[in-house]
Amino acid sequence: MSRFLDIDLNDKKIPPNYSYRHQSLLSLEHALEPIVPRIDHLHQYIKEALEKCHFPSEHNLTHDESASIYLYTMEWGAHSLYQLLNKDLRSEDPSALTPWANYLKLFEIALTKLPKEKKRLWCGTKDNVKQNFVKGSEIIWRSVSSCSTTLNIIKEFLGNDTNATLFMVEAVNGRNLSGYTKHPDENEVLLGPGTRLSVESDDLKLNDGLKVVHLVEITDKNNETLPAVMNTISITSKPEILITMKHDKRSIQEFVAYCRDSHGNEFPKRDIEQFQQEYHEHSPIWWYTAPHFLYSVLQHSLETLDFEAIIKLGFFIRDLHEQLGKLHSEQFKKGKGKLLTVYRGQGLPKSDLQKLKSHVGGLLSFNHFLSTSPDRLISIANARQAAENQESVRVLFVITVDLSISSTPFANIRDLQYYSSHESVLFTTHSVFRIERIQQMDKESRFWQVQLTMMEHNDGYWSSLTEFMRNEIQGPTEYHRLGNLLRKICGFEKAFHLCMMPLKQIDDDFETWNFYYQLGMIKIELGDYTGAISYFQKSIQVYEKKSAINDPHLAASYTNLGLVYANLGEYSKAISWLII
């Protein structure tokens, strides 16, 4: 098989696994140590890649980064590296990528340094899979996709196979391997793991009869209107971290100060003062449903993943989540064998409805606390009022919950909300649902019904995925886990800024050490080695006060400080830290 024919044809709506992105950069040989037992003569292939790769690089790739690309393009039969890697990238088992984590980190960093290709690319498969690609649907290629800018190259790999399918891809973020591949005459461009594509046409044919599927790459810019589509790391980890973090009186004061500084002209001063003075006089549900500024700040921050606001609101998210959990256990403790159905009517852009259609069978998360009603007619009326724009459609979400297995906090809040005139069922933030089906209502072209079923932890795939992601950001304290999470799902510059915020609130020596350590790791990712040295030294100063010289946490600071000096070429200093 050729790399250009190794295409992800899995039609399951499984989100890509980016857990490797928090790994530290290692040499190519060390990064691939876990793979050595699976590939005969791998050390020999690594040696060849290091000898023949393009280095020095005009794109500032390191020797190991350049060699990681060269190695990917090498082929030695059924157990070529690219074949094993792509097989594990497509696996439904999140742990399949664990042995590849350090190589993927090195490989991805290398690709980001190469020129982007915004042009038409080609790849294919010897199978007739055209029927699997429906016009208007969206697909995710979870593995690395090798494409060529030259159609005839792909035709040569396909041969005269009449069942073959060609993919014509309008790429935006392809990476040109010119000069870095073992096969420069193949004009190879790579699409990274998790590339999202829309099917523009499924009925094309070339003059020679070859079937063609026309795909267009979807970028974040043209897909930013549906925050509810699942972000695995975020929905698995963020609520759990926030509801376990410690908060005190300073939390309310700091949130109020944030509102005055960032939203002082948007909200009445008296509302902010009332919140500060009367917060403990009312329940979290009362505050959430009251006509005050809190609701808009909370929902906007959760929907847009504004982590600065989310961290400031951590105390309220925890309080509201805990109140819903308590009410849930009281209201539904006798719910064995029963099903609960609630509704939510709202407007939705047509483009977002199309994305939902392409994700039937997949998972959906509302990135905020979700208000629903047990009254179908009220929800239909809400939907009719919401979608006045011709570019929008009316959507009725029908949500079914199995009360015999339900554990996600939600509750009927009628007696506790600010306005008690109607029934309302509130779900905690980032509740996860499976999209069962979507159908048009009463032949009205702009009204659709979306059937959802609440996901629970006994679902096999969801359970394994959430457990895997918890392990990926694990740490001894909430602040440690928060630092790991921010590094994973924020840009490193933003993660650095956000990590500085809770640092000001930490009194515990160990947690202070951890945050300095996390800041040092982020500086490494940003290429700021001087900054990394400063923070690793601060972490050592904090932890040396109470720790023995051989403490494993202190040793981590020593080791990384030594590695940073080595990267700067200051080998005597590097050795002095590495042999302590």
CATH number at residue 58: 3.90.176.10
User: If DSSP codes are grouped into helix, strand and coil, which group holds residue 120?
Assistant: strand
Closest CA to 431 of 321, 326, 340, 310: 321
DSSP code of residue 447 = E
For residue 550, count CB atoms less than 10 angstroms from its CB and return exposed for 0-12, middle for 13-18, buried for 19 or more.
exposed
User: If DSSP codes are grouped into helix, strand and coil, which group holds residue 21?
Assistant: helix
Closest CA to 326 of 433, 396, 409: 409
- The pLDDT score that the predictor gives to residue 385 is 76
- The pLDDT score that the predictor gives to residue 495 is 45
Does residue 527 carry a pLDDT above 80?
Answer: no
Residues 67, 46 contacting (CB under 8 angstroms) = yes
Contacts of 481 (CB under 8 A, 6+ apart): 237, 241, 473, 474, 475
pTM for this prediction: 0.52
Residues 535, 516 contacting (CB under 8 angstroms) = yes
Give the DSSP H or E segment for 339: strand 339-349
Structure tokens at 6: 């190794």
> What's the domain range around 107?
28-219
Q: Is residue 346 part of a domain?
A: no
Give bridge partners of residue 427 from the DSSP assignment. Answer: 370, 410
DSSP string, 146-204: EEES-HHHHHHHHTT-TT-EEEEEE-SSEEE-TTTSS-GGG-EEEE-TTEEEEEEEEEE
Interatomic CA distance for residues 434 and 418, integer angstroms: 31
- The pLDDT score that the predictor gives to residue 539 is 82
- The pLDDT score that the predictor gives to residue 124 is 93
Interatomic CA distance for residues 239 and 314, integer angstroms: 9
**Residue where a domain terminates, one of 187, 219, 251:** 219
Interatomic CA distance for residues 482 and 13, integer angstroms: 28
Give the DSSP H or E segment for 19: none
Interatomic CA distance for residues 448 and 14, integer angstroms: 24
Mean pLDDT of the chain: 80
Structure tokens at 504: 């000001």
Q: Is residue 373 part of a domain?
A: no
> Of the ranges 73-82, 241-250, 280-289, which one carries the lowest mean pLDDT score?
241-250
Residues 40, 192 contacting (CB under 8 angstroms) = no
Does residue 347 carry a pLDDT above 80?
Answer: yes
For 292-325, write each residue's pLDDT tens digit: 788 888 888 877 767 667 778 888 988 999 999 9
Domains identified in the chain, total number: 2
**What separation in angstroms does the CA of 358 have from each of 14, 136, 303, 435?**
12, 8, 21, 10
> Of the ranges 217-221, 467-471, 555-559, 576-580, which one carries the lowest mean pLDDT score?
467-471
CATH number at residue 549: 1.25.40.10
Backbone angles phi, psi at 80, to 5 degrees: -60, 150
For 148-168, write each residue's pLDDT tens digit: 999 999 999 998 777 889 999
Closest CA to 180 of 49, 338, 314: 49
Q: Is residue 480 part of a domain?
A: no
For 414-459, write each residue's pLDDT tens digit: 899 987 767 899 999 878 888 899 998 866 667 899 999 988 655 5
Does residue 344 carry a pLDDT above 80?
Answer: yes
Q: Is residue 410 part of a domain?
A: no
Cα–chain-centroid distance for residue 210?
36
Give percent above pLDDT 70 in the chain.
Answer: 75
Give the DSSP H or E segment for 58: none
Cα–chain-centroid distance for residue 330?
34
DSSP code of residue 373 = B
**Residue where a domain terminates, one of 203, 219, 235:** 219
Q: At what angle do helices 552-567 and 571-578 cross, to 10 degrees?
A: 170
Closest CA to 234 of 368, 53, 383: 368
- CA quadruple 519, 525, 531, 537: dihedral sign: positive
Does residue 496 carry a pLDDT above 50?
Answer: no
- CA quadruple 259, 261, 265, 269: dihedral sign: positive
**Residue where a domain terminates, one of 219, 252, 268:** 219
Contacts of 189 (CB under 8 A, 6+ apart): 117, 119, 121, 146, 147, 148, 149, 171, 174, 175, 176, 177
Q: Which amino acid is at 434?
A: R
Q: How many CB atoms lie within 10 A of CB 57?
A: 18
- The pLDDT score that the predictor gives to residue 469 is 55
Provide the edge-to-edge strand list for the sheet that holds 138-141.
116-117, 174-176, 188-191, 145-148, 120-125, 165-170, 211-218, 195-205, 138-141
Phi-psi sector, 31: left (phi>0), alpha (psi -120 to 50), beta: alpha
Structure tokens at 338: 């029963």
Closest CA to 8 of 163, 123, 170, 179: 123
For 166-191, write each residue's pLDDT tens digit: 999 999 889 999 999 999 999 999 99
Q: Is residue 54 part of a domain?
A: yes
- The pLDDT score that the predictor gives to residue 507 is 54
- The pLDDT score that the predictor gives to residue 550 is 57
Does residue 411 carry a pLDDT above 70?
Answer: yes
> Of the ranges 142-156, 361-375, 501-515, which one carries the lowest mean pLDDT score?
501-515
- The pLDDT score that the predictor gives to residue 505 is 53
Interatomic CA distance for residues 190 and 147, integer angstroms: 6
- The pLDDT score that the predictor gives to residue 240 is 57
Q: Is residue 325 part of a domain?
A: no
For 57-107, write each residue's pLDDT tens digit: 998 899 999 999 999 999 998 889 999 999 999 988 878 888 999 999 899
For 5-60, write each residue's pLDDT tens digit: 998 887 665 666 776 766 777 889 999 999 999 999 999 999 999 999 999 999 88
Cis peptide before 409 (omega within 30 of 0): no
Structure tokens at 10: 């899995």
Residues 313, 256 contacting (CB under 8 angstroms) = no
> Of the ranges 408-417, 464-473, 537-546, 560-569, which one carries the lowest mean pLDDT score?
464-473
For 98-138, write each residue's pLDDT tens digit: 899 999 989 998 998 898 888 899 999 998 887 788 887 88
Q: Is residue 289 part of a domain?
A: no
pLDDT grade for 235, boundaries at 50, 70 and 90? very low
Q: Is residue 35 part of a domain?
A: yes
β pairing state of 116-117 and 174-176: antiparallel
Closest CA to 110 of 45, 151, 60: 60
Interatomic CA distance for residues 257 and 259, integer angstroms: 5
Does residue 371 carry a pLDDT above 80?
Answer: yes
